[in-house]
Structure 1
Amino acid sequence: MNILFIGDVVGRAGRQVLAQTLDRLVDHHQVDLIVVNGENAAAGFGLTADIVREFFDLGVDVITTGNHIWDKKEIYDTLDREPALLRPANYPEGLPGRGVGVYSTSAGIKVGVINLEGRVFMKNLECPFREADRLIEQIRGETRIILVDFHAEATSEKVALGHYLDGRVSALVGTHTHVQTADEYIMAGGTAYITDAGMTGSLDAVIGIRKELAIERFLTQLPVRFEVAKKDPVLCGVLFAIDEKTGRATGVSRVREELVSR
């Protein structure tokens, strides 16, 4: 089976390129399950209920997120109501939402999806390694096909978790840094890995933000209100091929689609 994972969707530009390219990608790659990281979809910071519905209407099966999921409080109720909208599982107990789910494809194949957040250069959360242990054990009885979205800053933390989970999950995909990496491969135990899926948003930008504003902040070190860039949207993601019987990955490849206006 084929799972298409699409990296962090940033603002309207990201949503537009997703809407214009998703059907073609699904048909071309014979995709069985679509997972999208949507934590930056609402003007670059957070997510709204309307955008969640927009994604599902496009055919997205599961939405993962990260540290920006808490930026818009209006999403909190949706996190509790919508089982296919995930937030990182290693936040403290009692918060809205969930960090794991098992979902069925149109052919009835069950796929587990786990959402975790890193701790290096980020928040002081529960250990993502130990939380992964717990969640894998929780869903292993339902399916051997498990995808992990690890929303983390440090490359070393992502690589380490990939090796730690090798042979126990089908794929681990890194998100958060918005730059697609070229290190996709299948680890010794059969887990497909990539450090970052990349960003779905404006290419003429600084990781999705208007380049003028980002440069101003670096030059002056003063607070600058960021705005999402709009020009030259690009979709970045990863395609995973998984053996349905064993849950082991048989292929992994980067995906990139541009809508260039220049």
Structure 2
Amino acid sequence: MKVLYLGDLVGRSGREAAIKRLPELRERLKADFVVVNGENAAGGFGITPAICDDLFAAGTDVIVTGNHVWDNRDILPHFQRENRLLRPANFPEGAPGRGIGVYDVPGGRRIAVAQVMGRIFMDAMDCPFRAVDKALAAYPLGRTVQFTLVDVHAEATSEKMAMGHHLDGRATMVVGTHTHAPTADHQIFSGGTAYMSDIGMCGDYDSVIGMQKAEPIRRFIHKTPGARFAPADGEATVCGVFVESDDKTGLATRIDPVRVGPRLAETMPEVV
């Protein structure tokens, strides 16, 4: 199976770039399934039902979120009616929506997509390790599903990497989001799980992690509150990761970063 996952869409610039590029990327990479992180898609904070519809229309199969998932309150009821929209599985019991979904893929195959949120330097949450173990228990890789994608939405690379090793051999890919900077550590672990600490953002990289520069710099210098952060609106670079797997085992056979745009060095996997 070939799966493309695009990192955090930040504001209008990142959202529109991803929507524009998705059909081309899907065709070029022969992707069977596309996942997008949309938690920063609406003005940099949260996501709306209308943005979900636009992303699905562009070729997205599943949208995952993160710590900004509830920033637009009108998204809460959408989680009850849209099974292609996920939030972290380790939110406390009773939170709207779900943290794992299983979806059909052409060729009679199935993919499980799950997300957990880290706890280091982030809000207090239930244990992500126990949550992902519980979420994946019903869908053994290579038997019930042919591909398992786990997103770790976290600050600390140590926490993300620990999760990758924890799930090595039980998930096809474990990759990180949230820090908005693509890392250079994409690899396949010894047990066959593809890993990357952060797949980067889809947004304007002439920024402070996708936000206009002046206010974040001012806050770091003066340590006082000020204006609301606003997404940078220059031309966006689209970042993500591409993973291919063996349908028999569900384990990864390749992992490649994807970067298309004006600011970072471009890289695109060659797919035969």
Aligned equivalent of 2:91: 91
The one-letter code matched in structure 2 to 1:7 is G
Runs of 4+ in 1 over 4 A off after TM superposition: none
Does residue 80 of structure 1 match 2:77? no
Does residue 171 of structure 1 match 2:173? yes
Count of matched residue pairs: 260
The offset of 1:26, in angstroms, is 1.1
Give 5+ residue unaligned stretches, structure 1: none
> SS at the partner of 1:20?
helix
Q: 2:10, 2:202 within 8 Å by CA — same for their partners in 1? A: yes
Aligned equivalent of 1:132: 132
Q: How many angstroms apart in 2 are the aligned matches of 1:39 and 1:236? A: 15
Does residue 234 of structure 1 match 2:234? no
The offset of 1:236, in angstroms, is 0.5
More deviation in 220-229 or 32-41? 220-229
Taking the TM superposition and a 5 Å limit, the aligned residue runs for 1:8-87 are 8-87=8-87
Q: How many angstroms apart in 2 are the aligned matches of 1:71 and 1:173? A: 24
Does residue 119 of structure 1 match 2:122? no
Q: How many angstroms apart in 2 are the aligned matches of 1:107 and 1:21? A: 25
Q: 1:104, 1:110 within 8 Å by CA — same for their partners in 2? A: yes
TM-score normalised according to structure 1 size: 0.97
The one-letter code matched in structure 1 to 2:61 is D
Q: How many angstroms apart in 1 are the aligned matches of 2:139 and 2:32? A: 20
Q: Deviations over 1:112-145 (max 9, x none)?
A: 0011000011122111111111111122263141
Q: 1:144, 1:169 within 8 Å by CA — same for their partners in 2? A: no
The one-letter code matched in structure 1 to 2:15 is R
Q: Whose helix fraction is larger, Structure 1's or Structure 2's?
A: 1
Aligned equivalent of 2:269: none
Q: How many angstroms apart in 1 are the aligned matches of 2:85 and 2:20? A: 22
The one-letter code matched in structure 2 to 1:132 is V
TM-score normalised according to structure 2 size: 0.93
Give 5+ residue unaligned stretches, structure 2: 264-272
Q: How many angstroms apart in 1 are the aligned matches of 2:214 and 2:126? A: 36
Aligned equivalent of 1:147: 149
Q: Percent identity?
A: 48
